[in-house]
């Protein structure tokens, strides 16, 4: 493939696999031209250029669950985005269009099918997103992160179970020099490290629970890398001002070097989104999952429970964070045999070569 458009975004769960796919295409063909198409005002408009790729923004938004002015504007935004998508496709002339979910992939991939351009979508979750479900009968191929249940949303003959893509730098994260990674965060080698990641946008309930227990965790001898999400960062920094000088606490809106963070982490607290799980499986970290209750069909709980059944993780319900999170963290850090067992089992279920399999499917697409 020499010219490819990758469309979608909205969260890190869409952007990270998109970048992983783009990087694998460029690795195979350094001359390949890759254009991203995202939604104006969404995080992909910042993250993609930082990764070295060009991106175009569509004036598109999702349908809100409640009656709002944004919903009244949706038909106009959709029409404008369809026209803009047609212009982008006619000018760039891609050989294939890839959708990773999110608002922008809808108009772009729809117009690609109208123009008979080969299309593929990558569905990360066990419960397919609305945009991908609407596109399911029109596109040529679906690369699924989960093996079971995809026939509920897509024609069975179009689905290939590839697993979810992770960035190449995470596949061999243990080869990173640990001291370099510790120095990046200003941490020490003689204390265990807790990594807290509530998703790319942050998780309010996880942040609230951490606010209540972080001092106790530091007093117990832990070091903490705490990714708050940009919406909560300022408030948490202000709230934790009394710990501002503690060298063992690193509060960050977003961790740019997740490879370094995974390298130094001994235990991870995370939401149970599909991409978070895929990354933690590949890096093999003992993890405590806190599924978000605010997702369709409670699919994060299903994601986490599939690992729990294989003794590959621990689980704390969102409603039980205040009473159980701190104890769960301390108990796990003190139980080195359980930490090793969880890490080994995470590695066993990982699919480190999912990105390569997805790009194999992209290369099979024919106009």
Instruction: Decide the pairing of beta strands 141-144 and 119-123.
Output: parallel
Residue 131 marked as a ligand binder: no
Among 158, 157, 123, 118, residue whose Cα is nearest residue 362: 118
Does residue 19 contact residue 34 with C-beta atoms inside 8 Å?
Answer: no
Other CB atoms within a 10 A radius of the CB of residue 318 amount to: 18
Does residue 325 contact residue 213 with C-beta atoms inside 8 Å?
Answer: yes
Does residue 250 contact residue 233 with C-beta atoms inside 8 Å?
Answer: no
Tokens representing 294 are: 């605010």
Residue 300 marked as a ligand binder: yes
Phi, psi of 312 (to 5 degrees): -110, 0
The position carrying tokens 């998703």 is: 199
Domains of the chain, each with CATH number or no CATH: 3-166+352-364 (3.40.50.2000), 169-349 (3.40.50.2000)
Residue 13 marked as a ligand binder: yes
Radius of gyration in angstroms for the set of CA atoms belonging to the chain, rounded to a whole number: 21
Does residue 137 contact residue 109 with C-beta atoms inside 8 Å?
Answer: no
In terms of Cβ atoms closer than 10 Å to its own Cβ (0-12, 13-18, 19+), residue 196 is buried
Q: Check residue 289 and give its pLDDT.
A: 97
CA distances from 295 to 74, 216, 272 (A): 22, 31, 11
Cα angle: 85, vertex 86, 88; to 5 degrees: 65
Q: Check residue 104 and give its pLDDT.
A: 84
State the Cα–Cα distance between residues 310 and 302, nearest whole angstrom: 13
305-312: long-range contacts (C-beta < 8 A, 24 or more apart)? 307/277, 307/281, 307/345, 307/346, 307/349, 310/345, 310/348, 310/349, 311/341, 311/342, 311/345, 312/281, 312/342, 312/345, 312/346, 312/348, 312/349
State the Cα–Cα distance between residues 334 and 64, nearest whole angstrom: 45
Residue 11 marked as a ligand binder: yes
Tokens representing 328 are: 């769960």
Write out the chain's pLDDT in tens, 367 residues.
Answer: 899 999 988 777 788 899 999 999 999 999 999 999 998 888 899 999 999 999 999 988 765 555 556 666 778 888 899 999 999 999 999 999 999 988 889 999 999 999 999 999 999 887 788 888 889 899 999 999 887 778 889 999 999 999 998 877 888 899 999 999 999 999 999 999 999 998 667 799 999 999 999 999 999 999 999 999 989 999 999 999 999 999 999 999 999 899 999 999 999 999 998 889 999 999 999 999 999 998 877 889 988 988 998 999 999 999 999 999 999 999 999 999 999 999 999 999 888 899 999 999 999 997 5
Tokens representing 358 are: 């997805």
Encode burial over 267-296: b for 16+ CB neighbours within 10 A, e otherwise. Answer: bbbbbbbbbbbbbbbbbbbbbbbbbbeebe
Q: At what angle do helices 354-364 and 12-28 cross, to 10 degrees?
A: 70
Among 208, 213, 199, 207, residue whose Cα is nearest residue 303: 199
Q: Check residue 325 and give its pLDDT.
A: 97
Residue 345 marked as a ligand binder: no
State the Cα–Cα distance between residues 52 and 204, nearest whole angstrom: 31
The position carrying tokens 């690609």 is: 112
Does residue 286 contact residue 338 with C-beta atoms inside 8 Å?
Answer: yes
């Amino acid at each position: 493939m020499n010219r490819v458009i990758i469309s979608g975004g909205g969260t890190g769960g869409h952007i990270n696999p998109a970048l992983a796919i783009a990087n694998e295409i460029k690795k195979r063909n350094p001359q390949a031209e890759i254009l991203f198409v995202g939604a104006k005002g969404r995080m992909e408009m910042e993250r993609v250029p930082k990764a070295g790729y060009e991106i175009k923004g569509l004036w598109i938004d999702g349908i809100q669950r409640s009656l709002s002015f944004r919903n009244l504007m949706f038909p106009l935004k959709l029409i404008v985005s369809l026209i803009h998508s047609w212009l982008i496709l006619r000018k760039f002339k891609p050989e294939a269009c890839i959708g990773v979910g999110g608002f922008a992939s809808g108009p772009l991939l729809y117009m690609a099918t109208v123009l008979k351009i080969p299309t593929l979508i990558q569905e990360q979750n066990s419960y397919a997103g609305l945009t991908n479900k609407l596109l399911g009968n029109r596109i040529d191929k679906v690369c699924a992160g989960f093996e079971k249940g995809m026939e509920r949303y897509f024609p069975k003959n179009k689905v290939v179970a590839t697993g979810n893509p992770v960035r190449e730098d995470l596949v061999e994260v243990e080869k990173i020099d640990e001291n370099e990674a510790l120095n990046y965060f200003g941490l020490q080698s003689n204390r265990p490290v807790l990594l807290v990641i509530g998703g790319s946008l942050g998780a309010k309930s996880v942040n609230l629970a951490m606010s209540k227990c972080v001092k106790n965790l530091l007093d117990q001898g832990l070091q903490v890398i705490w990714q708050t999400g940009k919406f909560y960062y300022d408030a948490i920094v202000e709230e934790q001002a009394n710990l501002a000088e503690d060298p063992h606490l690193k509060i960050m809106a977003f961790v740019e070097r997740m490879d370094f963070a995974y390298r130094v982490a001994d235990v991870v607290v995370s939401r149970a989104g599909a991409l978070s799980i895929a990354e933690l499986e590949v890096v093999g970290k003992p993890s405590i999952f806190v599924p978000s209750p605010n997702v369709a069909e409670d699919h994060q709980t299903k994601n986490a429970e599939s690992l729990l059944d294989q003794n590959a993780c621990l689980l704390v319900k969102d409603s039980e964070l205040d009473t159980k999170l701190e104890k769960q963290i301390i108990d796990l850090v003190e139980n080195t045999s359980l930490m090793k067992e969880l890490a080994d089992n995470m590695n066993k279920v990982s699919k480190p070569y999912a990105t390569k399999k997805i790009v194999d499917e992209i290369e099979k697409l024919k106009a």
